Structure 1
Amino acid sequence: MHAARLHEYTEDMTEALSIDEVDRPSAEGPHDVIVEVEGAGWCQTDNHIIEGMWAEYAPQELPMTLGHENAGVVSEVGDEVSTVEVGDPVICHPVQTCGTCRPCRLGEDMYCENDKFNGLTTDGGFAEYLHTSDRAVIPLPEGVDPTDIAPHADAGITAYHAAKKAVTELNPGDTAVVIGVGGLGHIGLQCLRAMSAADVVAVDLKESALDLARDLGADETVNPESADVAAEIEDFSNGVGAQQVLDFVGRDETTALAPEITAAGGDHHIIGYGGHIHEPAQALVNGEFSYKGTLVGQYTELQELVALVDRGDVSLHTERYDLADINIVAERLEHGEIDGRAVVTPP
Structure 2
Amino acid sequence: MKAVQYREVGKGPEIVEIDVPEPGPGQIRLKVTAAGLCHSDWFVMDLPEEQYTYGLPLTLGHEGAGIADKLGAGVTGITVGESYAIYGPWGCGVCRNCAEGKENYCTRAAELGIAPPGLGAPGAMAEYVIVDDARHLTPLGDLDPVETVSLTDAGLTPYHAIKAAQHKLFPGATALVLGVGGLGHVGIQIIRAISEATVIAVDVSAEKLSLATEVGAHHTVVSGPDAAARIRELTGGVGADAVFDFVGVQPTIDTARASVAVDGYIHIVGIGGGLLPTGFFSTPFGAAVRAPYWGSRSELIEVLDLARTGAVSVHVERYGIEDAVEAYTRLHHGAVRGRAVVVP
TM-score after normalising by structure 2? 0.93
Question: Match of 1:176, as an amino acid?
Answer: A
Question: Match of 2:8, as an amino acid?
Answer: E
Measured after TM superposition, the shift of residue 283 of structure 1 is: 3.2
> How do residues 206-221 of structure 1 correspond to structure 2 at under 5 angstroms?
206-221=205-220
Which residue, 18, 21, 28 being the options, matches 1:22? Answer: 18
Partner of 1:61: 55
- Does 1:39 find its partner at 2:34? yes
Measured after TM superposition, the shift of residue 70 of structure 1 is: 0.3
Q: Secondary structure at the match of 1:147?
A: helix
> 1:307 & 1:253 partners in 2: Cα distance?
35
> 2:144 & 2:276 partners in 1: Cα distance?
43
Is contact 1:259–1:287 with CA below 8 Å preserved after alignment? no
Is contact 1:74–1:86 with CA below 8 Å preserved after alignment? yes
Is contact 2:15–2:325 with CA below 8 Å preserved after alignment? no
Partner of 2:6: 6
How many equivalent residue pairs? 338
- Does 1:109 find its partner at 2:107? no
> 1:282 & 1:271 partners in 2: Cα distance?
23
Is contact 2:24–2:73 with CA below 8 Å preserved after alignment? no
Measured after TM superposition, the shift of residue 166 of structure 1 is: 2.0
- Does 1:232 find its partner at 2:230? yes
Question: Match of 1:3, as an amino acid?
Answer: A
Partner of 2:268: 270
Change (3 A) 1:285 1:52: closer
Is contact 1:69–1:153 with CA below 8 Å preserved after alignment? yes
Partner of 1:80: 74
Partner of 1:184: 183
Change (3 A) 1:54 1:296: farther
Is contact 1:256–1:279 with CA below 8 Å preserved after alignment? no
Q: Secondary structure at the match of 1:155?
A: coil
The Cα offsets for residues 103-143 of structure 1, whole Å up to 9 and x where unpaired, read as 2123321122133310111110110001002111000132x
Change (3 A) 1:100 1:280: closer
CA RMSD of aligned residues (A): 1.8
Gaps of 5+ in 1: none
Q: Secondary structure at the match of 2:155?
A: helix
Partner of 2:149: 150
Which residue, 308, 311, 322 being the options, matches 2:309? Answer: 311
Partner of 1:125: 124
Which residue, 241, 246, 249 being the options, matches 1:248? Answer: 246
Partner of 2:339: 341
Is contact 1:3–1:20 with CA below 8 Å preserved after alignment? yes
> 1:207 & 1:323 partners in 2: Cα distance?
30
- Does 1:222 find its partner at 2:218? no
Question: Match of 2:135, as an amino acid?
Answer: R
Question: Match of 2:141, as an amino acid?
Answer: P
- Does 1:100 find its partner at 2:94? yes
Is contact 2:7–2:58 with CA below 8 Å preserved after alignment? yes
Is contact 1:251–1:275 with CA below 8 Å preserved after alignment? yes
TM-score after normalising by structure 1? 0.93
The Cα offsets for residues 196-250 of structure 1, whole Å up to 9 and x where unpaired, read as 010110111111111111111111111125x821122112111111010010111
> 1:207 & 1:74 partners in 2: Cα distance?
41
> 2:125 & 2:275 partners in 1: Cα distance?
33
Q: Between the two proteins, what is the percent identity of the paired residues? A: 38
> 2:276 & 2:90 partners in 1: Cα distance?
34
> 1:110 & 1:151 partners in 2: Cα distance?
17
Is contact 2:90–2:104 with CA below 8 Å preserved after alignment? no
Q: Secondary structure at the match of 1:306?
A: helix
- Does 1:327 find its partner at 2:325? yes
Measured after TM superposition, the shift of residue 54 of structure 1 is: 10
> 2:285 & 2:328 partners in 1: Cα distance?
39
Change (3 A) 1:99 1:320: same
> How do residues 267-306 of structure 1 correspond to structure 2 at under 5 angstroms?
267-279=265-277, 281-284=279-282, 286-306=284-304
Is contact 1:49–1:55 with CA below 8 Å preserved after alignment? no
The Cα offsets for residues 267-298 of structure 1, whole Å up to 9 and x where unpaired, read as 11111122322546433464331221021111
Question: Match of 2:45, as an amino acid?
Answer: I
Measured after TM superposition, the shift of residue 148 of structure 1 is: 1.5
Is contact 2:278–2:289 with CA below 8 Å preserved after alignment? no
Q: Secondary structure at the match of 1:60?
A: coil
Measured after TM superposition, the shift of residue 81 of structure 1 is: 2.4
| Farther-moved stretch of structure 1 (252-261 vs 176-185) | 252-261
Q: Secondary structure at the match of 2:161?
A: helix
> 2:146 & 2:231 partners in 1: Cα distance?
37
| Farther-moved stretch of structure 1 (179-188 vs 215-224) | 215-224
The Cα offsets for residues 174-193 of structure 1, whole Å up to 9 and x where unpaired, read as 01100111100000000000
